[in-house]
Structure 1
Amino acid sequence: MDLDHARAVAVAAAEAAGALLVAGTRGALGTRAKGGSGDVVTELDLASEKLLVERVLTAFPAHSVIAEESGLLGAAGGEWTWLIDPLDGTNNVVIGLPAYVVGLALCRSGRPMLGVVHDPVSAQTWSAIRDRGAVTSSGVRLAPPHNPSPHGPLLAWTQGYSVSRSDTTAQAITHVLELRARRVLRLWAPLLSWAMLARGDIDGIVGYRAEAIDLPAGALIAREAGIEIRALDGGPFEDGFDGTPEDRSFVATHPSAMPGLLDLLRTRAAI
């Protein structure tokens, strides 16, 4: 498998989808409810997904695709599977907030080998191939520094759609983050949070039962930029799309900051 070719296809597809999204946000969105959690889907999600799926399957007809709106396309359990998030940040778009991205990951037997995130608003793209580092669209390697603040870390929080307001674990974690962190961002666009972490704009991400479709691309880019990712208890964390929602709870930060962030999260039991 030529991962450089796959990256070129994915970047071109993501940027084409991004152009579609930028143009589409200037008009009526055609919004409807999605599921019972208050989430929404727009005609832009569907149009972007159609473009991305067509680009990927034209280039790699033997691969499977799992897309945000369409689900599984092709046979399950194949060696190569693409994960496609055509509009990460739909709820932001609906309220007129320009904070959204396009994401693709290529996984081999469930393990991400390639990740691409494109921000249509800033016209920036970030990508990573496993064990080869993460880069910007201009080829600059991502390597965020560790610059701790005396006022606490700047963190992003993300949770899966299945997490209810009454979930006591989510309540305990967010409570301690609000008390101990300098700021807690809730961007409604997890892939954008991953890109910000890989760039060094924020200090960490705490995720609870994150969605499988967008986790692998962002986590791979962050890891290849030098970010460490652990389970909430400090154990190892796998960034694939298999497993249960509980397997997708994590802490991600610079390695030097990991002990402190894990200690911060452990205090939730005492608050």
Structure 2
Amino acid sequence: MIHSNERPEDAEVATAAARAGADVVREMYGRRLARVDKGAGDFATAADVEAERTILGVIRAARPDDAVLGEEGGRQGAADAERMWLVDPLCGTLNYAAGNMLVAVNVALRDGAAAVADPFSGEVFFTDGRTARVRRDGDDTPLTPTSATALVDVNLDPPFPGAPVFRAVDLLAHPRFVERFRPRVVSTTLALAWVAAGRRAAYVTDGGDLSGSVHFAAGIALCRAAGCVVTGIDGAPIGAAGRGLVAAADAETHASLMSMIRGRGHA
């Protein structure tokens, strides 16, 4: 749903920004890149920093009065800005640094338009808050979720705030999970766009409130606009009181996953 402070062109801004960031990520791929240590085994590369700078340039040119929250640069813009863009310039940095092309560029207007770009396929998945589409070679195609693949992406990256009651990794040992689904571990939120596009049946991750996360906001927006079922791991709506994320292509898949998660200790 488009909010009152959103403009019809915001989806194009998100798409242009994500595509610009993806161009940087693709161009810098394979180089020996400087790293910025973030602690606890996390780091950014020069590609993360340069992609974010480029994305912010697109947003500032189109929406100079809006604020931006970037993974690398933090919050920028007027403190009283009514609108906030959430930017993850390179989701899957460890993949990227290891020479793996499974990465995403995420740009989202909080509670509004969003785009997820795949730097290597050239696809941009985007939403205006009402519909979700993928742009490929200049053509826009509606996203149609389906659980037909039976592939479920499970985020195994720490931290695990739900442990020991629940961790997403626990699903992999659940008898009914391996009977019905086939796990995948992509280690990038590009997998959320794939749920919206029908390439994944579902995506599951532990965590707290992910609605305002630079990593997850764009993918959540895509899934919602495409008609997926999106809740926390406790079945509650994503929000301040939320816990993690279950994004499923349809209600049956969501219900099946929730029964397994609850079976691990959640009421």
* Paired amino acid for 1:40: F
Unpaired runs of 5+ residues, structure 1, are none
Structure 1 segments (4+ residues) deviating >6 Å: none
CA distance in 1, matches of 2:88, 2:140: 23
Structure 2 counterpart of 1:237: 238
1:28 matches 2:24: no
Structure 1 counterpart of 2:173: 178
* Paired amino acid for 1:154: L
Aligned-partner SS, 2:237: coil
TM-score (norm 1): 0.84
Match among 235, 247, 260 for residue 264 of structure 1: 260
Structure 1 counterpart of 2:57: 54
Contact kept? 2:230, 2:238, Cα under 8 Å? yes
Q: After the TM superposition, which of the residue ranges 12-21 and 192-201 deviates more from structure 2?
A: 12-21
Unpaired runs of 5+ residues, structure 2, are none
Alpha-carbon deviation of 1:128? 0.7
Q: 1:129-169: per-residue Cα shift (whole Å, max 9, x none)?
A: 11x2101112211112343x7xxx421123675437x9313
CA distance in 2, matches of 1:139, 1:113: 19
CA distance in 1, matches of 2:144, 2:154: 22
Match among 141, 154, 158 for residue 151 of structure 2: 154
Alpha-carbon deviation of 1:10? 2.2
Q: 1:103-149: per-residue Cα shift (whole Å, max 9, x none)?
A: 10002xxxx2111000011000010111x2101112211112343x7
Aligned-partner SS, 2:246: strand
Match among 87, 94, 99 for residue 102 of structure 2: 99
Match among 8, 11, 17 for residue 7 of structure 1: 11
Structure 1 counterpart of 2:124: 125
Alpha-carbon deviation of 1:31? 2.0
* Paired amino acid for 2:260: L
Structure 1 counterpart of 2:245: 250
Q: After the TM superposition, which of the residue ranges 67-76 and 83-92 deviates more from structure 2?
A: 67-76
Percent of counterpart pairs with the same letter? 26
Match among 87, 105, 115 for residue 90 of structure 2: 87
Hey, which of these two has a bigger chunk of helix by percent?
Answer: 1
Q: 1:32 to 1:236 in 2, by over 3 A?
A: closer
CA distance in 2, matches of 1:248, 1:78: 28
Aligned-partner SS, 1:175: helix
Match among 205, 208, 211 for residue 207 of structure 1: 205
CA distance in 2, matches of 1:250, 1:213: 14
Aligned-partner SS, 1:79: coil
Q: 1:215-263: per-residue Cα shift (whole Å, max 9, x none)?
A: 111001011111011222222233xxxx3xx624121112232221111
* Paired amino acid for 2:235: G
Alpha-carbon deviation of 1:27? 1.6
Structure 2 counterpart of 1:169: 165
Structure 2 counterpart of 1:196: 194
Aligned-partner SS, 1:4: coil
How many residue pairs are counted as aligned between the two chains? 251
TM-score (norm 2): 0.85
Q: 1:48-68: per-residue Cα shift (whole Å, max 9, x none)?
A: 011111110121111000000
* Paired amino acid for 1:124: E
